[in-house]
Amino acid sequence: MSKGLVIKNTGSWYVVKYGEDLVVNCKVKGNFRLKGIRTTNPVAVGDIVDFIANDDGTAYITAIEPRRNYIIRRASNLSKESHILAANIDMALLVVTFKDPLTSTTFIDRFLATAEAYSVPVVILINKIDLLDEEEMDYVKAVEYLYTTLGYEVLAMSAKESSDEVPERILSMADGKVTLISGNSGVGKSTLINRLVPGLNIKVGVVSATHHTGMHTTTFSEMYELGKGTYLIDTPGVKGFGTVDLGDDVAHYFREIFKYSAQCRYGNCTHTHEPGCAVRKALERHEISESRYASYLSILEDKTEGKYRKAF
């Protein structure tokens, strides 16, 4: 039996790196799906696994080491299944755009809440600012202000502009870490990774002129090694972000809502209708943004309806 790191998921195979620079294609033993793991991928990129290699060159994953953390989302609209984007990550880079395509703040907040739940630090990267006019740049500044005041690092850039220095900052931040790169389809993840890893030449997609949404170019998650201990995980673009298993503690994963909730009259306040709710009072005083509160309510709706509601 050998131990290795899952660096790619192809849907039917998992590519596992082991030893110095050896890789093997592994399949999963069927009993993995019989242990109550309700995910479309019982094994995720970033997992440390045990595997057995056969004489014919095939191999089977037999066990997964306990994960430090992971990022998980609802697999698809109305799905009861979930999908793990990656496991054992040190940082997540959420790539967003406000034109071609438009990333909603609901999508951002859902991702951030999930990352908070699993203790994954997030950097928000606003890409394609070269496409924006003055009024749209004012919106970028407002979004930047909102999330930086909450304690998130926000970077604005144009990944396709070779003079932009943000990729160097990202490389510096990612040094020695496993970094997940995620976002909607078409936001420029592949272009960014090509900037970060010269010579990789990942296929870059186009944005639909009709629907202003991105086309999938990355089909499965894959991990790229930049140096010893430094990895980037490229993930397929997603349209919406359905939250999974946040339980009754949704407010804990919105930093500002959690802060004010300590002042609520009732310890089990849902911050929707109860008297003496400090969160709604802070909302009235504009100390909590309406967009963040709306995102909080949308996750509560997921929970009560028991289904995934597409981000808007």
Residue in the block written with tokens 């090694």: 225
Q: What is the pLDDT of residues 30-67, one digit of tens each?
A: 666 545 556 778 899 999 999 998 888 789 999 999 99
Is 70 exceeded by the pLDDT of residue 130?
yes
* Between 241 and 37, residue with greater pLDDT: 241
Residue in the block written with tokens 């970060």: 196
Q: Crossing angle of helices 105-117/290-305, nearest 10°?
A: 70
Q: What is the pLDDT of residues 86-128, one digit of tens each?
A: 999 999 999 999 999 999 999 999 999 999 998 999 999 999 9
For 70-234, CATH gives 3.40.50.300
**Cβ(43)–Cβ(14) below 8 Å:** yes
Residue 209's pLDDT is what? 42
Distance CA 166, CA 206 (A): 22
- pLDDT grade for 21, boundaries at 50, 70 and 90: confident
Is 50 exceeded by the pLDDT of residue 308?
no
Task: Tell me what percent of the residues of the chain surpass a pLDDT of 70.
Answer: 85
R_g of the chain computed on alpha carbons: 20
Backbone angles phi, psi at 14, to 5 degrees: -120, 125
Task: Tell me what percent of the residues of the chain surpass a pLDDT of 90.
Answer: 61
Distance CA 79, CA 241 (A): 12
Strand pairing of 82-87 and 70-74?
antiparallel
Residue 160's pLDDT is what? 84
The chain-wide mean pLDDT, for the chain, equals: 86
* Between 74 and 258, residue with greater pLDDT: 258
Single pTM value for the model? 0.87
Sign of CA dihedral 237, 243, 246, 251: positive
Q: Where are the chain's structural domains?
A: 2-64, 70-234, 250-305
Stretch 282-299: mean pLDDT: 96
The neighbour count for residue 39, using CB atoms within 10 Å, is 16
Residue 145's pLDDT is what? 97
Nearest to 131 by CA among 165, 159, 104: 159
Residues 6+ apart with CB under 8 A from 94: 108, 111, 112, 122, 123, 124, 125, 182, 183
Residue 228's pLDDT is what? 81
Q: Which CATH class is domain 2-64?
A: mainly beta
Residue 204's pLDDT is what? 54
Residue 243's pLDDT is what? 76
CATH architecture of 250-305: Orthogonal Bundle (1.10)
- The burial of 114, by beta-carbon neighbours within 10 Å (0-12 exposed, 13-18 middle, 19 or more buried), is given as buried
Q: Look up residue 210 and give its two tokens.
A: 């009709």
Q: Give the distance between the most distant pair of CA atoms in the chain.
A: 68
Nearest to 222 by CA among 19, 29, 13: 13
Stretch 8-14: mean pLDDT: 87
Stretch 59-79: mean pLDDT: 83
Residue 15's pLDDT is what? 94
* Between 68 and 41, residue with greater pLDDT: 68
Distance CA 162, CA 145 (A): 26
Residue 163's pLDDT is what? 85
For the chain, the residue count is 312
Amino acid, res. 95? V
Q: What is the pLDDT of residues 169-216, one digit of tens each?
A: 999 999 999 999 999 989 999 889 988 887 776 655 444 344 344 444
Residue 75's pLDDT is what? 61
Secondary structure of residue 70 in the 3-state scheme: strand
Q: What is the pLDDT of residues 243-259, one digit of tens each?
A: 776 767 899 999 999 99
**Cβ(128)–Cβ(188) below 8 Å:** yes
Residue in the block written with tokens 């030449």: 201
